[in-house]
Structure 1
Amino acid sequence: MVYACISSALYNHWFDGMALMHRFHISEGSVSYSSRFLRSDSYILNSEKNRIVVSEFGTVAMPDPCKNFFARFFSRFQIPQPTDNANVNFVKYKGDYYVSTETNFMRRVDPQTLETKEKVDWSQYIAVNSATAHPHYDHEGATYNMGNSYSKDGFFYNIIRIPPSENTAAKEDSADLTGAEVICSIPAAESRKPSYYHSFVMSENYIVFVEQPIKLNLLKFMLYKIMGQSFQKILSWEPQYDTIFHLVDRHTGKESEVKYRAAPMFTLHQINAFEDNGFLVMDMCCGDDGVVIGDFTLENLRRESGEDMDKFYNSLCRNLPRRYVLPLNVDEQTPLDQNLVMLPNCKATAKKADSGEVYVTHEELHNDKLLQYGGLEFPQINYDKYNGRPYRYFYACGFGHVFADSLLKMDVHTKELKVWRYPGLYPSEPVFVASPTAAEEDDGVVLSVIITPRKEKSTFLLFLDAKTFTELGRAEVPVSIPYGTHGVFNKMS
């Protein structure tokens, strides 16, 4: 998925532009490119009115200039409709592809033609008001996600399970989320200030929800349209709160009675998680300051001088790979104030306190070489074979600039780093594609869309040997492509 703007109206935040889908078709040594705007209700309304009609993460909808003052004033008291501008990720449910954002709406799409199909409302299937754009898939074909709900009983984080498709051959050409169910509802630690989250952790037997101290002020949430503020403005970084790891059995939906706490941290994307001899190992990209989520305004990204841009970049918190370890067998007999993590060569710790809670500290999953390339984000692994299982390698974008300016391969056993980087070239999220004859975890290729502001250079799809991280080839595209976020590889039958 990539972002793009529409008409002459101005969006305020990087996350706000209308969704533009793009597709590289690779067949018998040739590559073709196509792109289409997602025909969401938001896009159609904005196009028809030639202005921003639907509010986005950092942008408030413009009032209708045809209405009089009183009509515009009272329109502020109408409950805003969540956007269906699904510009975050391609996701898959029961064999169908959808594009998703973080509201209760997503859109089914045709992965071959990029045709926009029907809008799907999660709340028509289960009692949630939103869902993430980062579901997980188990090895039996089921899909898991998380979504919020709120009622007179409080605010809840819900774990959702969507069963695999029962009969693909007889499947109708329509959205199908039948059988979706909430398997666990986790009450917010602060009912009036629930946490923002972008993704979650899943191993073979557990799901972990990370309740981090980026808080959503519910009072402001109810009033933000009246106040003329965007959703971004009702989020706040509140490091007086700990990070809480909620451990849930994926098969029974039962949450552990043990509460795991860590120092305040911010995470958008997890790398992987797996179980090892009575411990749950979780690797994720983390930072110490959640303010950064509001910093990517277009005003900041359009700073004219290199000095101003460098100043902005140097003010940003770096996200770096960390490892947290949760001991799974904690009970009344577990000793207090002793490091419970007994895994060899692991520097992460976990100690049980008098309260019965377990306080964990992380291990830095990198060496000093990574700091030369800034932080990293958009981590990817050999997902089909190693998600939720012990693994060795992940791939990511290095952020030595406001935008990603390198591709990285990290060995989590040795912390060795391999790098692809060229001046003036900016890569998208790396996508790992396993070799059909793969014998090892990193047998395959890494794909990334590379953009550049240089007029004499072309946008291209990059092919890297995943094992050596050396370049195999480029497929140049004679058009400009906006900087993107997430993508998937879809093997056509």
Structure 2
Amino acid sequence: MVDNGSYPGILDCQGRENGLYPKVDISIWLRSCVGDQAPVKGKVKGSIPKWISGSLVQNGPGKFSFGSDTFKHLFDGSALLQKFQVEDGEVFYSCSFIKTQAYTKNLKNNAIVQPEFGTTVKNRTNIIPTRSSVMSDNTMITVYPFKGNLYTFYESPFVYKVNPNTLDTCEREDLGKLGLVSNASHVHFDDNKDMLSLGMKLTMTGPYYVVNSFKFNNSSDSLAGQSKQLLRIRPRWMFNPSYMHSFAITPRYIIIVEQPLTVNIKSMVMAVLQNKPVVTALQWQDKGVVFHVIDKVSKKKFYKKFRTESFFYLHTINAFERDDTVVIDICGYGSPAMLDCMFIKELQSAQSNHAYSNLFKGRPRRFVLPLNRDKPVKKESSGSTTCSKCRNLVLPQIICDYGCETPAINYDLVNGKYYQYFYAITSDVASSNAGKLLKVHVETGEVMTWNEENTYCSEPVFIQTPGSTIEDDGVLLTSIIRGKPDVKFVGLLVLDAKTLVELGRAEFELPGPVPKPLHGCFLPSWQFDK
């Protein structure tokens, strides 16, 4: 069942023929790009609305080997930006590796010399720990526009500034200057166009979760120079702060979801001293989840902590205020086993692993946090979300029976506000089509899908129809790749956001395999850089 040799640039992987999951080509996650690609024009099919003008830029792992060395985890792959520039109904594709210090050193040495999330280095020469030896600057998770530039993020204090027109790497920003030892990959933007981020800061009295605001109207050239700390709160376990990937905001509140997957500080120190990967410092403390609701104005936490049963998550979907409650929707899993499923060896052997699909199984969950201790919480139409015996214990409501990942909403219109829809890709490995795109109605649980045989969608990005204020009046942009044998194919798909009917697409054939991206943004539909 091992499929190798005939696809240069793709790591060996068990094929889906005679495998347990015949509808998914898992090797799509094991592709390495052959190098930077200058803009090439795609072949357009259908009709791409001419009011769509700008660029979809996506970030993700794009190279898994240097010389004879291979990374051990999906989150170790070198950061690659892929760009689809849409102009007057035509589309141009280009890509570029972010020239991080990690990438540059590995390339120069033709070997992996920079440790990553799941990978250590051979023949380590420096035994004195530094921030760079603990956290890589391989910013391969997200990309966001801010003040005319693009910024790429990872779970480290390092951020890269990128030219949005050429994808040239401009400079590295070190948020360690703010005392941060880590920074969540996902940020938010407020009504002032300021960028909000969640990080962890070490102080003389221990670690804190901190929310920083990077000011849009500040004249400083550096992110650190534009920063103002909005608030900080202590972790519930001083030496085991939670792993943070995203958070949520409403007009009045910031919601930090403290999950039981933690970073053990002692284990982190030992990992550095013993040349072990960062992932070995993660520990699962199966003691529930805590929701911290913090008032933006007073900077004070709500008078009680809200708790629920243990679950793992990467992505919040949205949050909003309603009837003396805060409602927050999250893509949740029963445990962090899905992170283990992303080790390269696990991906390579997934087709013979009977447990793989269950380990990767998650469902979107809704939590209703009652802010008024005197008022009863209204029962949701699809189930109760609050325990009547314990007012600070909240119970999850499953929004729909589909695995959903990389969720997207009409951000400009409904982020932090009442909403009806989100869009996502499926995380169900055993699905009849594991590359499908989903539209979910959060109140009814109704799900619409788009899929095509042997085709895998990226995170969808919503663009509002000009002048419209209807939540789902717009288009979805998603890049698509295909499984073997069409490994050099990439396309840009344009769907009607109401119906998921395809409006048009642009297709490209590239010199080598096309890696699957993780997250992206569209310029200039987000107005934060104007």
Q: Find the aligned partners of 2:233 and 2:425 in 1 and give their Cα distance.
A: 32
Match of 2:444 among 408, 414, 423: 414
- Give 1:459's aligned amino acid: V
Partner of 1:286: 332
Q: Which residue of 373, 395, 403 corresponds with 1:361?
A: 395
One-letter identity of the residue aligned with 1:487: G
Query: 1:190-217 deviations in whole A, cap 9, x for unaligned?
Result: 1121111110111111111111110211
Could you tell me which of 59, 63, 66 is aligned with 1:7?
A: 66
Residues 491 and 93 (structure 1 numbering): CA distance in 2 closer, same or farther, change over 3 Å? Answer: closer
Cα deviation, residue 353, structure 1: 6.5
Deviates more, 1:27-36 or 1:254-263: 254-263
Distance 1:185 1:321, change over 3 A: same
Per the alignment, in what secondary structure is the counterpart of residue 394 of structure 2? strand
Structure 1 residue 228, shift from structure 2 partner? 2.5
What is the aligned partner in structure 1 of residue 495 from structure 2? 464
Does the aligned pair in 2 maintain the 1:94–1:176 contact within 8 Å? no
- The residue aligned with 1:207 is 254
Tell me which residue corresponds to 1:69.
none
Q: Alignment partner for residue 383 of structure 2, among 340, 344, 347?
A: 347
| 1:432 pairs with 2:462 | yes
Cα distance in 2 between the residues matched to 1:433 and 1:447: 8
Match of 2:13 in 1: none
2:236 aligns with 189
**1:32 to partner: Cα distance:** 0.3
TM superposition shift of 1:404: 5.0
Match of 1:224 in 2: 271
Q: Distance in 2 between matches of 1:112 and 1:94?
A: 14
- Alignment RMSD: 2.1
How far 1:189 moved relative to its partner?
0.7
Match of 2:20 in 1: none
2:310 matched to which residue of 1?
Answer: 264
Corresponding position: 1:84 with 2:137: yes
The 5 Å alignment of 1:66-465 reads: 72=125, 75-79=126-130, 81=132, 82-124=135-177, 126-166=178-218, 174-239=221-286, 241-303=287-349, 306=351, 308=352, 311-330=354-373, 334=374, 340-342=376-378, 345=381, 347-351=383-387, 358-366=392-400, 368=401, 370=402, 375-401=403-429, 404-456=434-486, 458-465=489-496
Aligned amino acid, residue 378 of structure 1: T
Give the SS at the match of 2:266.
Answer: helix
Amino acid at match of 1:295: C
TM-score, normalised relative to structure 1: 0.88
Q: Could you report, residue by residue, the CA deviation over 1:47-83 in whole angstroms, capped at 9, with x for unpaired residues?
A: 111111111111112225xxxxxxx4xx334335121
TM-aligned CA deviation for residue 347 of structure 1: 2.3
CA distance in 2, matches of 1:148, 1:93: 22
- Under a length normalisation based on structure 2, what TM-score does the superposition of the two structures give? 0.82
Q: Distance in 2 between matches of 1:90 and 1:424?
A: 27
Which letter does structure 2 place at the counterpart of 1:90?
V
Retained in 1: the 8 A contact 2:361–2:428? no
Residue 225 of structure 1 aligns to a residue whose secondary structure is helix
Which moves more between the two structures, 455-464 or 32-41? 455-464
Cα distance, 1:185 vs structure 2:
1.3
Q: Deviations over 1:414-449 (max 9, x none)?
A: 211100112211111111111113241111111111
Distance in 2 of aligned mates of 1:231 and 1:250: 33
Identify the residue that residue 67 of structure 1 maps to in structure 2. Answer: none
- 8 Å CA contact retained: 1:271, 1:285: yes
CA distance in 1, matches of 2:358, 2:445: 26
What is the DSSP-based 3-state SS (H/G/I as helix, E as strand, rest coil) of the residue aligned with 1:360? coil
Distance 1:78 1:197, change over 3 A: closer
Residue deviations 1:469-493, cap 9 Å, x none?
A: 1111221111131011000011288
Distance, in Å, in 2 between the alignment partners of 1:342 and 1:98 is 41
Alpha-carbon distance between aligned partners in 2 of 1:418 and 1:35, rounded to the nearest angstrom = 31
Check conservation: 2:214, 2:223, Cα contact below 8 A: no
Question: Aligned with 1:148: secondary structure?
Answer: strand
Contact between 1:379 and 1:395, CA under 8 Å: does it hold in 2?
yes
8 Å CA contact 2:144, 2:520 repeated in 1: no
Post-superposition CA distance 1:8-53 (Å, at most 9, x none):
3200001101111111000001000001110111111111111111
Number of aligned residue pairs: 459
Counterpart residue type for residue 480 of structure 2? I
Question: Within 2, Cα distance between the matches of 1:445 and 1:61?
Answer: 44
Partner in structure 2 of residue 23 of structure 1: 83
Q: Secondary structure at the match of 1:178?
A: helix
Say which is worse superposed, 78-87 or 15-24, in terms of deviation.
Answer: 78-87
- Residues of 2 paired with 1:51 and 1:15: CA distance? 17
- Distance 1:419-1:298 versus aligned 2 partners, 3 A rule: same
CA distance in 2, matches of 1:118, 1:2: 19
User: Using the alignment, how far apart are the partners of 2:257 and 2:206 within structure 1?
Assistant: 18
Comparing both chains, which one has the higher relative contact order based on Cα–Cα distances under 8 Å and sequence gaps of 6 or more?
2
How has the CA–CA distance of structure 1 residues 351 and 452 changed in structure 2, closer, same or farther, with 3 Å as cutoff? same
Cα pair distance change 1:36/1:328, threshold 3 Å = same
Contact map agreement 2:357 2:428 (CA 8 A) in 1? no
| Structure 1 residue 343 displacement after superposition | 5.1
- How far apart, in 2, do the equivalents of 1:256 and 1:346 lie? 27
- Contact 1:432/1:446 (<8 A) preserved: yes
Change (3 A) 1:353 1:157: farther
Q: Is contact 2:460-2:476 (8 Å) kept?
A: yes
Query: Cα–Cα, structure 1 residues 469 and 377, in superposed 2: closer, same or farther, change >3 Å?
Result: same
Give the whole-Å Cα distance in 2 for the aligned partners of 1:491 and 1:78.
Answer: 41
2:110 to 46, 50, 58: 50
**Which residue number corresponds to residue 34 of structure 2?**
none
Q: Which runs of 5+ in 1 are unaligned?
A: 65-71
SS of 1:129's equivalent?
A: strand
Task: Say if 1:431 and 1:485 are closer, same or farther in 2 by CA, change over 3 A.
Answer: same
Q: What amino acid maps onto 2:222 in structure 1?
A: A
C-alpha separation between the residues in 2 aligned to 1:247 and 1:140? 21
CA contact 2:340–2:346 (8 Å) conserved in 1: no
> Conserved in 2, the CA contact under 8 Å of 1:89 and 1:100?
yes
